[in-house]
């Protein structure tokens, strides 16, 4: 039974110390014991208290009585022909989320979800067609990384790690789950544990303006903005949160973003939609809009999903668009589409697909 036991994953080191002291498991002068535990949890990835050999037998037993180290259940695991991997994970309450690993030559990126579903209904995004169910806890966010590391044999943390980068770009709007995403990001970057460089942790937002500056003041990470349009009329349609936080305010927040500098340029994500936002004029407007901001622009070929309302721009249009941006002095890589055959590509995540299929089966059968 795990109900009345506390999940250690997702607590900060400080919170672990406090909890151990409050439960009388250690004394306040023994905080080094929580550091030992932290090392097992986040440097070695150990899930079995009995294997924590630097912790005394007596404390191990007490830890087992009071705590659990949880991982979500793997509902399905798919590997794309390009080696992208997608896990469909079942949480304790039965909700499902997806996590994607994208291996590249010099790095491995894990795309992490922050909510079950999403409220924002971005028109190009499959996840947006799924209703928001709830925010993920810090434990559920960090556990996606821990589970992926287990599966990829990526423990203990060393130089040649398989997961080198994290993007909060999976299901959900991370800034609408601010505190839990912040806690998870801090644990990911902790120097005694997972030790990911903060330059390799990217928060991607569709533009929750008031939280952008707050995040920049409080958390060391990179920032990516899902931009996708250069005027309010179009952005209201593609990224409806723009009606609440229009482009003028979003770009102002980017200009004022406290961590914006050349070593931590802001990434603007721009999905290429045929006949919608992909003209040379759009490219020139984009350059003007972001002028003066240390930035790079990621062009994302649109990844279709069942009944999606858009098509992807042609290769020629994307090249033309990219050249205009490059000529204006910005890096403008075209993101390679990865994991399309397993619906793991950008904007294709939707955990309810399995539930839908089951109910469809029931309805038909
Ligand atoms: S792009 Fe992100 S914010 Fe927009 S609907 Fe999809 S998951 Fe939500």
User: Which residue spans of the chain are classified as CATH 3.20.20.70?
Assistant: 73-355
Of the candidates 37, 52, 39, 41, the one whose C-alpha atom is nearest the C-alpha of residue 192 is: 39
Q: Which residues contact 97 (CB under 8 A, 6 or more apart)?
A: 72, 88, 89, 91, 113, 116, 136, 140, 144, 170, 171, 351
User: Which pLDDT score is estimated for 357?
Assistant: 37
Structure tokens of 315? 């290769």
Q: Minimal CA–CA distance to 137: which of 101, 102, 95? A: 95
Task: Confirm if 176 and 214 have CB atoms less than 8 A apart.
Answer: no
The pTM for the full model equals 0.91
**pLDDT at residue 236 above 60?**
yes
Quick check: is 346 catalytic?
yes
b or e along 287-306 (b: 16 or more beta carbons within 10 Å of the residue's beta carbon)? bebbeebebebbbbbbbbbe
Which token pair is 290? 């972001």
If pLDDT is split at 50, 70 and 90, which confidence band does 44 have?
very high
Strand ranges (E), the chain: 6-7, 67-68, 73-79, 85-90, 96-103, 108-111, 115-116, 134-135, 165-168, 201-205, 222-226, 266-272, 295-301
Is residue 118 part of the annotated active site? The answer reads no
- In the chain, where does the domain assigned CATH 1.10.150.530 lie? 6-68
170 CA from centroid of ligand 1 (Å): 8
Protein residues whose CB sits closer than 6 Å to any atom of ligand 1? 118, 120-122, 125, 127-128, 171-173, 206, 226
Architecture of the domain made up of 73-355: Alpha-Beta Barrel (3.20)
Q: Mean pLDDT throughout 331-343?
A: 85
Per residue in 66-112, pLDDT (tens digit) is 999 999 999 999 999 999 999 999 999 999 999 999 999 999 999 99
Hey, which of 113, 128, 224 would you mutate to test ligand 1's pocket, going by the most ligand atoms within 8 Å of its Cβ?
128
248-270 pLDDT, tens digit each: 999 999 999 987 666 679 999 99
In this structure, the residue with its CA closest to atom 4 of ligand 1 is: 122
Residue-wise pLDDT for 194-232, tens only, equals 999 999 999 999 999 999 999 999 999 999 999 999 999
Cβ burial 15-46 (10 Å sphere, 16+ → b, else e):
ebbebbbeeebbeeeebebbeebbbbbbbebb
How far apart CA 354 and CA 350 sit, in angstroms, is 9
Q: What is the mean pLDDT of the chain?
A: 90
Q: How many of the other CB atoms lie within 10 Å of CB of 129?
A: 17
Distance CA 99, CA 85 (A): 8
The domain made up of 6-68 is a member of CATH 1.10.4160.10: no
């Amino acid at each position: 039974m795990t109900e009345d036991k506390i999940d250690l994953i997702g607590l900060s080191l400080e919170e672990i110390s406090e909890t151990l002291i409050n439960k009388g498991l250690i004394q306040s002068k023994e905080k080094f014991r929580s550091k030992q535990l932290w090392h097992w949890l986040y440097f070695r990835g150990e899930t079995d208290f009995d294997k924590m050999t630097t912790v005394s037998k007596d404390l191990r037993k007490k830890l087992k009585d009071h705590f659990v180290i949880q991982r979500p259940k793997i509902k399905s695991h798919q590997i794309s022909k390009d080696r992208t991997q997608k896990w469909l994970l079942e949480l304790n309450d039965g909700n499902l989320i997806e996590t994607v690993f994208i291996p590249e030559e010099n790095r491995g990126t894990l795309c992490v979800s922050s909510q079950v579903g999403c409220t924002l209904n971005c028109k190009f995004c499959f996840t947006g067609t799924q209703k928001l169910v709830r925010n993920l806890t810090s434990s559920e966010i960090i556990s996606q990384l821990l589970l992926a590391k287990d599966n990829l044999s990526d423990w203990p943390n060393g130089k040649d790690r398989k997961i080198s980068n994290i993007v909060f770009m999976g299901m959900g709007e991370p800034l609408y789950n601010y505190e839990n995403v912040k806690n998870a990001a801090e644990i990911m970057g902790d120097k005694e544990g997972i030790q990911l460089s903060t330059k390799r942790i990217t928060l991607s937002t569709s533009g929750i303006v008031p939280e952008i500056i707050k995040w920049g003041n409080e958390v060391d990470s990179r920032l990516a903005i899902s931009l996708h349009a250069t005027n309010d009329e179009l952005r209201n349609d593609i990224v409806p949160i723009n009606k609440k936080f229009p482009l003028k305010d979003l770009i102002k927040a980017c200009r004022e973003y406290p961590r914006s500098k050349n070593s931590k340029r802001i990434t603007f994500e721009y999905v290429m939609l045929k006949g919608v936002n992909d003209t040379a004029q759009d490219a020139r407007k984009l350059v003007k809009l972001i002028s003066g901001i240390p930035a790079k622009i990621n062009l994302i070929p649109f990844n279709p999903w069942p009944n999606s309302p858009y098509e992807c721009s042609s290769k020629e249009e994307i090249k033309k668009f990219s050249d205009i941006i490059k000529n204006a002095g910005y890096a403008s890589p075209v993101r390679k589409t990865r994991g399309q055959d397993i619906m793991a590509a950008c904007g294709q995540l939707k955990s309810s697909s399995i539930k839908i299929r089951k109910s469809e089966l029931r309805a038909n059968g």
